[in-house]
DNA sequence: CGCCAGGTGCGAA
DNA sequence: TTCGCACCTGGC
């Protein structure tokens, strides 16, 4: 167990449960157990201190600081956005403490391909099945957990085996995309350096990745904050509050108004549906 | 039962 | 280029 002190403006529950990640467990003591790519961690936030327990304590503070993006000043970003549009104050105040989790690109890509036309519960179920069947077993606090499989393991799963993990018609997309990653046709490292617009087009060149999924991958897997998934909730919000209708109009409006913060603003809008 | 879930690919106009 | 539709799965 380690303690990370002086963690300001942290809404751990919202950050974990707002839909960025799928593999977490809310414990009865209000802590959260989260399965990262290489370890299982239990997180508890009390009065500005983050208590972190894990089966693997190597570089634990660094790993968690990076994963939860603790060193970015989200409060000043939120204040900047308020200056751009004061009408967003209620939503922004509601999102104080929401961090953007730095996900592993590979798991992020698989997760969001599965997410298309799917429910959160089904997505979680599929990802847990894939991990159970093909991932490394980890014992933590006397319980068994399964890490998300490595690329090598994933690349050996065929479409029928994916179906057994209840991914449905997305099986073929997964096989093809994972094969592309494995052969560097889809270079998941190169995307860090790509311009957002280019990276979107690049990802959408693969079947099973449309605008929504590509946006989520770049926002959550690569922290490209100028990319924004426009979903049904955001559409409703924009229509109700700005009388703007249609995905393209929403994109244009947000890009002009919020620029490099567009992705954050959109996520705050999405997040607001949960608590307001 | 039928409908829908943080969509996407496909074929038809 | 745009439009409508089918699609695994599980919950309601």
Task: Give per-residue pLDDT as tens, A13-32.
Answer: 999 999 899 999 999 999 99
Q: Cβ of A169 < 7 Å from strand C? A: yes
Task: Report the distance from CA of residue A193 to the C1' of nucleotide B5 in Å, as an integer.
Answer: 33
The reply to whether A99 falls in a domain is: no
Mean local confidence (pLDDT), A91-120 = 96
Rounded alpha-carbon distances, angstroms, from residue A37 to A188, A206, A241:
16, 24, 39
**Strand C near-CB residues (< 7 Å), A 80-119:** 117-119
Of A43-47, A89-93, A233-237, which range is least confident? A233-237
Task: Report the distance from CA of residue A106 to the C1' of nucleotide C6 in Å, as an integer.
Answer: 28
Q: State the pLDDT at residue A276.
A: 62
Indicate the pLDDT class of residue A274, thresholds 50, 70 and 90. low
A216 and A239 part of one domain: no
Mean local confidence (pLDDT), A219-231 = 92
Average pLDDT, chain A: 94
Number of domains in chain A: 3
Q: What percent of chain A has pLDDT over 70?
A: 99
Indicate the pLDDT class of residue A273, thresholds 50, 70 and 90. confident
A188 and A114 part of one domain: yes
Q: State the pLDDT at residue A237.
A: 82
The reply to whether A92 falls in a domain is: no
Q: Cβ of A134 < 7 Å from strand B? A: no
Residues A146-184 pLDDT 10s: 999 999 999 999 999 999 999 999 999 999 999 999 999
The reply to whether A237 falls in a domain is: yes
The reply to whether A268 falls in a domain is: yes
Strand partners, A143: A140
CB A139 within 8 A of CB A123: no
Q: Cβ of A120 < 7 Å from strand B? A: yes
Q: State the pLDDT at residue A70.
A: 97
A141 and A194 part of one domain: yes
A55 and A125 part of one domain: no
Rounded to whole angstroms, the Cα distance separating A276 from A272 reads: 6
Rounded to whole angstroms, the Cα distance separating A112 from A102 reads: 14
The reply to whether A49 falls in a domain is: yes
- Residue-range definition of the domain harbouring residue A168: 105-222
Predicted TM-score of the model (pTM): 0.96
Q: What percent of chain A has pLDDT over 90?
A: 84
Q: Is A233 helix (H, G, I), strand (E, B) or coil?
A: helix
Mean local confidence (pLDDT), A106-115 = 98
Q: Cβ of A166 < 7 Å from strand C? A: yes
The reply to whether A176 falls in a domain is: yes
Tell me the two tokens of residue A271: 């997040």
Mean local confidence (pLDDT), A183-193 = 97
A43 and A130 part of one domain: no
The reply to whether A90 falls in a domain is: no
For residue A177, the domain's CATH number is 1.10.340.30
Q: State the pLDDT at residue A246.
A: 81
A217 and A245 part of one domain: no
A210 and A239 part of one domain: no
């Amino acid at each position: 167990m380690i303690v990370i002190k002086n963690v300001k403006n942290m809404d751990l529950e919202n950050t974990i449960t707002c839909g960025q990640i799928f593999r977490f467990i809310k414990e009865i003591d209000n802590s959260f157990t989260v399965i990262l790519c290489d370890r299982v961690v239990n997180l508890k936030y009390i009065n500005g201190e983050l208590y972190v327990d894990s089966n693997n304590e190597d570089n634990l503070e660094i790993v968690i600081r990076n994963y939860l993006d603790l060193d970015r000043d989200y409060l000043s970003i939120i204040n900047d956005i308020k200056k751009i549009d004061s009408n967003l104050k209620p939503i922004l105040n509601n999102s104080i403490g929401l961090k953007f989790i730095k996900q592993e690109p590979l798991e992020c890509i698989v997760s969001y391909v599965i997410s298309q036309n799917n429910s959160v519960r089904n997505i979680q179920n599929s990802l847990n099945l894939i991990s159970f069947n093909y991932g490394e077993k980890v014992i933590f606090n006397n319980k068994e957990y399964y890490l998300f499989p490595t690329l090598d393991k994933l690349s050996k799963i065929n479409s029928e085996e994916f179906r057994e993990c209840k991914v449905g018609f997305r099986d073929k997309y997964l096989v093809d995309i994972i094969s592309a990653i494995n052969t560097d046709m889809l270079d998941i490292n190169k995307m860090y350096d790509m311009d957002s617009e280019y990276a979107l087009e690049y990802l959408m060149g693969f079947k099973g990745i449309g605008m929504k999924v590509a946006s989520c991958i770049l926002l959550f897997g690569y922290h490209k904050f100028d990319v924004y998934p426009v979903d049904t909730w955001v559409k409703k919000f924009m229509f109700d509050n700005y009388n703007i209708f249609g995905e393209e109009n929403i994109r244009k409006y947000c890009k002009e108004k919020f620029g490099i913060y567009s992705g954050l603003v959109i996520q705050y809008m999405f997040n607001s549906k949960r608590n307001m």
